[in-house]
Amino acid sequence: MTADLSDTLAKPVPMYAKVKQTIVEKIYTGEWKPHDRVPSEAELVRQFNCSRMTANRALRELTAEGFLFRLQGVGSFVSEPKGQSALFEIHSIADEIASRSHQHSCKVLKLSEVNANMTQAAEFGIAVGSPIYHSIILHYENDMPVQIEDRYVNAQAAPEYLRQDFSQQTAHDYLSQVAPLTEGEHIVEAVAGDARSCRLLQIEANTPCLSISRRTWSKTGIVSSAKLLFPGHRYKLKGHFSS
């Protein structure tokens, strides 16, 4: 595995990817805010000493990925983030299910090391190609699938992540132990489930689903980034607050 990673890190990063990473980093850090104009193709050519085709590809792909929007004859701008709702607490799904006096179980579909792509590297604050961990876990409530947990983990924050038995302890509980959470972020969206997700959740294709994008931090930085997908008719959000 080490040799493969070294080979990956040794490969030069394409110039268009470097341009994209620079723009994404400025968006994630808040240096460039929604509706801020980003450098034009000509400005990127001068800044990176690259071709016009390279600059165009970077801007075109970032637009397709939702980071930017382009106004014909005006330029490219940082996109407005999608509407979001705050959830006040972060709980383990096993605890949530137990609180309803129901039985939790899960199936680990994937648990592996991958190399961070440009977006992941910017999100975790690491170099492109650095190792991160990827897990996909299907959670059940009374033998009914209720959540797909697709999680990426900072390898430096939880170096033993791949050695855990997540059928016995949730990833959330394990990470809370090895890298106690100090901050969390939720982005909630209504989405149509894709074919594979719907098969796993045992629902009809394109059934409305609830998607929660969750990022968590410890004192040392971001710990994990997860996408949690629920069948819309099997899950609801509940928040409690007091003044």
Q: Quote the pLDDT of residue 159.
A: 96
Domain 15-78 and domain 83-238, same fold? Reply is no
| Letter string b/e over residues 27-65, b meaning 16 or more CB atoms within 10 A of that residue's CB | beeeebeeeeebbebeebbeebebeeebbebbbebbeee
Q: 203-232, pLDDT tens digit by residue?
A: 888 788 989 999 999 988 899 999 999 987
Q: Quote the pLDDT of residue 2.
A: 41
CATH of 15-78, one of 1.10.10.10, 3.40.50.300, 3.40.920.10, 3.90.550.10: 1.10.10.10
Q: 156-180, pLDDT tens digit by residue?
A: 999 999 999 999 999 999 999 999 8
Q: Quote the pLDDT of residue 27.
A: 87
Say if residues 125 and 28 touch (Cβ distance below 8 Å).
no
d(CA 218, CA 216): 7
Q: Classify residue 158 by burial, with Cβ atoms within 10 Å: 0-12, 13-18, 19+.
A: buried
Can you give the residue ranges of every domain in the chain?
Answer: 15-78, 83-238
- For the chain (length 243 residues), average pLDDT per consecutive 10? 44 82 87 90 94 94 82 82 48 83 93 94 90 97 91 96 94 92 85 90 86 90 93 66 50
| 83-238 carries CATH number 3.40.50.1360 | no
Find tokens 């004859």 and name the residue.
Answer: 73
Q: What is the pTM of this model?
A: 0.63
